[in-house]
Structure formats: structure tokens, C-alpha cells
């Protein structure tokens, strides 16, 4: 079992880092003058092409290198400028695209407990998967270890799904995501 830690630069040790250009600085909190406090974890699912696992489609999407001619679905999404902080593959491997200290572009138009723009104060974790089948046990193991590391570093108050913060437009992590598997529920 791998135990993760988040360093002062916002990177998880033991994660494969692949730099995404799709991020910016977190906004400054007007009261403190510091960057907005990170207190939310958002769980997503993704597969590219949809329902297929193990390829480079997700990496290529998050790094703006997705070839629109490679798959019909890619023609629809290749120009999206999106990312997440982390991706957990079906085999439990952890990839990181953006430092936790920066704002990854994973949530889009969103709201949590009356606060708009969840990207400002959240860490986004993508699970390689879909709304149509169960996630792998090893993914939950990696996810729980990553949640523990993030929670030990930042004052996390809630762990939610993308569907919780954007219910009119998103369904992930989907009906097969087992919230009972999450040890640090908030």
C-alpha cells in the first residue's frame, strides 16, 4: 500500500506528474490577502474514448494534445481546455496534472453550499471510469490514501461528486461510485 503525502509545492509523492497547461492561480481571499483556502474535494469520472480504459486519451485531453481525427468523440471535445489535479487509473496508478496550490479547470460552472466557482477552493480527482460500471477496488484504495494526504495538508470540509456541485449538467462520479468506500467522508 502506498502512503501519499502532499509536499509544500502541492505535489503528491509517488504520483506520476504530467504537466497540464490548463490551470491558473487560485484567487486571493480579500480578508486575508492569501490564496483562497482549499477546503473541498471533488470526485469525477472520465474515460476517453467513452467507456474505454487504459489509453492516452485523458492525458492528451488534459495536455491539449487530443487528436480530433483519432476517434469520433474526440472531434467534439478536443478543443476543451480542462484538467484535474489528479487521475486514478483503473489499476490504481496515480497521475497528477496540476499542483494542489493552483486552480485546475475541472468543475466548470459550479456551486457548493452557496459558494460559486468551486475550482477556486477545491482539488479535483478524476477516476478512470464511467457512469455505467463499478470502479475497481484498487481505485478506492488509492483514492482513500490520496484523500487522507490532501486532508492532512489542507482543511478539507467536504468531499463531493461533480454531480453535487453541478447537478443540472453533470452525473459523475455516477451511480456505480460507492460512497461507503470513502473512509474520510465529511
Catalytic positions are: 126
C-alpha cell at 110: 459550479
- Total number of residues shown for the chain: 186
Distance (Å, rounded) from C-alpha 110 to C-alpha 50?
A: 23
Within 10 angstroms of residue 182's Cβ, the number of other Cβ atoms is 16
Q: How many Å apart are CA 157 and CA 18, to the nearest integer?
A: 28
Phi, psi at residue 119, to the nearest 5°? -55, -30
**List of residues 6+ apart from 136 with CB closer than 8 A:** 90, 91, 92
Rounded CA separation 62/85 (Å): 10
Instruction: Find residue 28's DSSP bridge partners.
Output: 35
Helix (H, G, I), strand (E, B) or coil at 3: coil
Say how many C-beta atoms besides its own lie within 10 A of residue 122's C-beta: 30
Amino acid at each position: 500500500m502506498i502512503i501519499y503525502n502532499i509536499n509544500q509545492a502541492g505535489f503528491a509523492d509517488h504520483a506520476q506528474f504530467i504537466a497540464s497547461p490548463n490551470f491558473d492561480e487560485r484567487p486571493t481571499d480579500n480578508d486575508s490577502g492569501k490564496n483562497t483556502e482549499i477546503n473541498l474535494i471533488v470526485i469525477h469520472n472520465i474515460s476517453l474514448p467513452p467507456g474505454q480504459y487504459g489509453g492516452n486519451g485523458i492525458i492528451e485531453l488534459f495536455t491539449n494534445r487530443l487528436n480530433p481525427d483519432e476517434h469520433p468523440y474526440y472531434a467534439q471535445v478536443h478543443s476543451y481546455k480542462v484538467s484535474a489535479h489528479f487521475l486514478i487509473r483503473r489499476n490504481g496508478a496515480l497521475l497528477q496534472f496540476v499542483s494542489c496550490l493552483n486552480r485546475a479547470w475541472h468543475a466548470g460552472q459550479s456551486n457548493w453550499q452557496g459558494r460559486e466557482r468551486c475550482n477556486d477552493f477545491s482539488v479535483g480527482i478524476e477516476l478512470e471510469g464511467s457512469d455505467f460500471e463499478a470502479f475497481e477496488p484498487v481505485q478506492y484504495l488509492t483514492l482513500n490514501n490520496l484523500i487522507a494526504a490532501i486532508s492532512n495538508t489542507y482543511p478539507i470540509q467536504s468531499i463531493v461528486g461533480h454531480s453535487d456541485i453541478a447537478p443540472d449538467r453533470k452525473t459523475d462520479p455516477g451511480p456505480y461510485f460507492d460512497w461507503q468506500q470513502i473512509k474520510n467522508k465529511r
